[in-house]
Structure 1
Amino acid sequence: MRITFEPLGIAFELAVDEFIFLRVEQHVVTSIEIHVWPNGIAVWLPYPGDSDYVILDSGGNELNRLW
């Protein structure tokens, strides 16, 4: 499955048993849009400055910071 974080276009390819987390501040959660496609998921984030957007692996290790 492909998970893409937009509008940046940063993508991760995950196996069936893999997963990742997106850590954000609570006040931006309602502004996140998630679109499900046959081959993946697109996560649309609010613009920078609203929060720190951190992608974590299943063990809680930081994979990437967005913006």
Structure 2
Amino acid sequence: MPKRRLSDLTPGQKKSLGVAGVVQVGLAVAALVDIWRRPAARVRGNRIAWSMACGINFLGPAAWFLFGRRR
């Protein structure tokens, strides 16, 4: 399978890739801000571990918002 380059993508594919990147960065920033501003009693687990998990595209921030926060 030949490698695909960014220049090989259609304009629509490039736009979709850009939107996905913006969403990913936005989710990661929102999760990191929430992790460090939330009181320790309302965090399930270690803040550093959750911060590192936010580096996993889409899954890390989603896991934080679904499982890491105590109500």
State the TM-score, normalizing by the size of structure 2: 0.27
Which structure shows the bigger proportion of residues in helix conformation? 2
State the TM-score, normalizing by the size of structure 1: 0.27
